[in-house]
Copies of this chain bind each other. A is one copy, B any other.
């Protein structure tokens, strides 16, 4: 019975650090406002996120696989139902806090929605604490910093705004953490993919899209050495080919992002590799994309532009 009155707070499937941290940060806020809430997650913690929670000695959220009809939920760091929990269509969405475009989202009643085009959901949650006059404690500040460091790739991503930088400075003081030092450690922890099988590697941070009937996946991994990852190109391509067949994809675009230099290497397979090739000439199924790090701001717009 208690579970029925509890509001579940979660980010997107294939959760990244911003999704996990933001669900905990939002849960801390709602709890301080006297609400019965629990942060949960819709998938496994990646190594970067594991590092962050271990570093600050914070318990990560519990895994759930779906939401029950009529249960109360708060969505953070995503709004598209296709990226959300199974059963989201029949849940009672009470709030949304996000920094993505709005699409494939609706509510039955008027609810609180706050979205801004900033680098991380953590940045918006900082403002929400202020709006509610709730103090940000040290652990909460550490999680917000982790959100910002992760989603902006330490301020290198084109999605990063002056707001993210300004708020990160304030959070550094509260948390007593140097974001450049801690953030680099965290990002590097996320790049240790040596023990991840290629089948899992291509799904670690994969998002599926459907534009004008063209079904494609853009996956992204972070590294400190593109060359190291490219040693596994053959096995990665095999895994991609299997995925394309299984899911009837028109394109699988695997992106290897060099977080130290802020560049990416693409590996593209499928019938519609022309959607990449028009912008970046593919050779041996690969292309180097200088200055490209953001799926949302750079890679997805490139593919959709080439569809038009």
Contacts and interface: CB of A to CB of B under 8 A. Distances in A.
A108 B305 CA distance: 12
A110 B102 CA distance: 7
A115 B113 contact: yes
Nearest to A118: B110
A101 interface: yes
A31 B168 CA distance: 29
A170 interface: no
A133 interface: no
A111 interface: yes
A100 interface: yes
Interface string A85-105: 000000000001001111111
A231 to B, nearest CB: 35
A107 B102 CA distance: 5
Contact of A111 (B106, B110, B115): B115
A109 interface: yes
Given A114-B114, A117-B111, A104 B103 contact: no
For this complex, into which size category does the number of interface residues on chain A fall? 20 to 34
Contacts of A103: 106-107
A258 B122 CA distance: 46
A271 interface: no
B116 A112 contact: yes
Interface in A119-161: 127, 131
Nearest to A108: B101
A271 to B, nearest CB: 25
Contact of A102 (B101, B105, B116, B296): B105
Contacts of A101: 106-111
Contacts of A108: 101
Contacts of A116: 110, 112-113
Interface string A5-39: 00000000000000000000000000000000000
A107 to B, nearest CB: 5
A114 B104 CA distance: 17
Contact of A110 (B99, B106, B127): B99
A256 B104 CA distance: 35
A115 B296 CA distance: 23
A100 B102 CA distance: 15
Contacts of A106: 101-105
Contact of A117 (B100, B109, B114, B296): B109
A99 B110 CA distance: 6
A109 B107 CA distance: 20
A112 B115 contact: yes
Interface of A: 96, 99-117, 127, 131, 296
11 contacts: A101-B106, A101-B109, A101-B110, A101-B111, A102-B105, A102-B106, A103-B106, A104-B106, A105-B106, A109-B117, A113-B114
